[in-house]
Amino acid sequence: MKPKIKRILKIVLPLLLGVFLVWYSLKAVPLPKIYEYWKTANKEWVLAGVFLGFLSHLSRAYRWRFQLEPMGYNIKLGNSIMSVMAAYLINYSIPRAGEVARASILTNYEEVPFEKGFGTIVAERIADMLVMLGIIVVTLFLQFDFIYGFLAENFNPLKIIIGLLGLLVLVFIFTRLVKRSSSKIALKIRTFVSGLVEGAISVFKMKQKWAYIFHTLFIWAMYILMFYVTSFAMEDIRDITFSAILIGFIAASFSIAATNGGIGAYPLAVYLGFSLFGIAEEPSIAFGYIMWASQTLLIIIFGGLSLIYLPIYNRIKVK
């Protein structure tokens, strides 16, 4: 496939998937019904969730400076905050383009070489991925009985065990093949895995590694809290268990990678997670839309203002 066609497909396919999922979710729960849930929702809890989300973005911007300092770049906090917010906004148009734009902003206004700025963003994503894996492990541990009971009720336990063993064997064979192969794909996989390990280890080599780890944990704590706090806004799910919140949050987090900023996928992912706990479709999808829309509005406002104010801010600083 030609590179140009691949680039177009990378942009168009997530958008088409997002549009389809919006149509599908609104078919299940019409927009007027979602608006009814919004009208009766406690707006103070929604705003509290938005505030917690904003704190996570500020923490991410502050954390980024710890990665750049060892390389000799002491960037302005204002530029870091605005580049992070602008990157979130740009990701809604072209998947992963925000990361490129974020590194480019530092190149333009802080004279940080693009490859170095982008490298810190990759390492940042690795740290986030490790925390996300930690959240999944903790959730599985806390809900082991529930998850095992659910799987045993809906699937044959023997088949599950055989399937897991088969998966482990396939992973082992795949790993051996990748190690021995000299193909381009194998090389890319080895480079990616090596980057994951190097990025994870590099955190402990930082001068302010404990501050970096604290902010990483703080960011994800705010993500979970904003999800949990926003649930208080709706009467139908106000008494939801924290375990359901964690599973709904994990499902919603993965949906963001499926479409641009989780468009269409986010509410359905929330419903998928909540449905395991017997929560009805209507309030689950409505909550997903309220949650997604409130956080998206935050990004649109501050991301848009950041793109406008960045050149003004840096012109004033130069003077």
Asked whether the predicted pLDDT for residue 74 surpasses 80, the reply is yes
Q: What pLDDT, on the 0 to 100 scale, is given for residue 215?
A: 93
Structure tokens at 39: 């009208």
Helices (H), 181-280: 184-202, 209-231, 242-258, 265-275
240: left (phi over 0), alpha (psi -120 to 50) or beta: beta
- Quick: pLDDT tens for 9-65: 555 666 676 677 777 677 778 788 888 989 999 999 999 999 999 999 999 999 999
- Quick: pLDDT tens for 259-302: 777 888 899 999 988 988 888 889 999 999 999 999 999 999 99
Q: In the structure, what pLDDT confidence band is assigned to residue 68 with cuts at 50, 70 and 90?
A: confident
Q: How far apart are CA 261 and CA 79, in angstroms?
A: 22
| Least confident range of 194-208, 213-227, 235-249 | 194-208
What is the number of residues in the chain? 319
Which of residues 146 and 214 earns the better pLDDT score? Answer: 214
Calculate the average pLDDT of the chain: 83
Asked whether the predicted pLDDT for residue 144 surpasses 70, the reply is no
Q: DSSP per residue over 46-68, as a string?
A: HHHHHHHHHHHHHHHHHHHHHHH
Asked whether the predicted pLDDT for residue 73 surpasses 80, the reply is yes
Q: What pLDDT, on the 0 to 100 scale, is given for residue 286?
A: 93
Q: In the structure, what pLDDT confidence band is assigned to residue 218 with cuts at 50, 70 and 90?
A: very high
Q: What pLDDT, on the 0 to 100 scale, is given for residue 319?
A: 43
- Quick: pLDDT tens for 85-117: 999 998 887 777 888 889 899 888 988 888 888
The average pLDDT across 306-312 equals 91
Which of the given ranges, 131-145, 228-242, 304-318, has the highest pLDDT on average? 228-242
Asked whether the predicted pLDDT for residue 240 surpasses 80, the reply is yes
72 three-class SS: coil
DSSP state of 30: -
DSSP state of 155: S
Residue 70 vs residues 73, 74, 101, 113, 116: alpha-carbon distances, Å: 7, 9, 22, 14, 11
User: What whole-number percentage of the chain has pLDDT above 70?
Assistant: 83
Q: How far apart are CA 87 and CA 302, in angstroms?
A: 11
Q: In the structure, what pLDDT confidence band is assigned to residue 127 with cuts at 50, 70 and 90?
A: confident
Q: How far apart are CA 45 and CA 231, in angstroms?
A: 8
The average pLDDT across 134-155 equals 72
Q: What is the 3-state secondary structure (H, E, C) of 165-190?
A: HHHHHHHHHHHHHHHHCCCHHHHHHH
Amino acid, res. 194: S
The average pLDDT across 150-169 equals 69
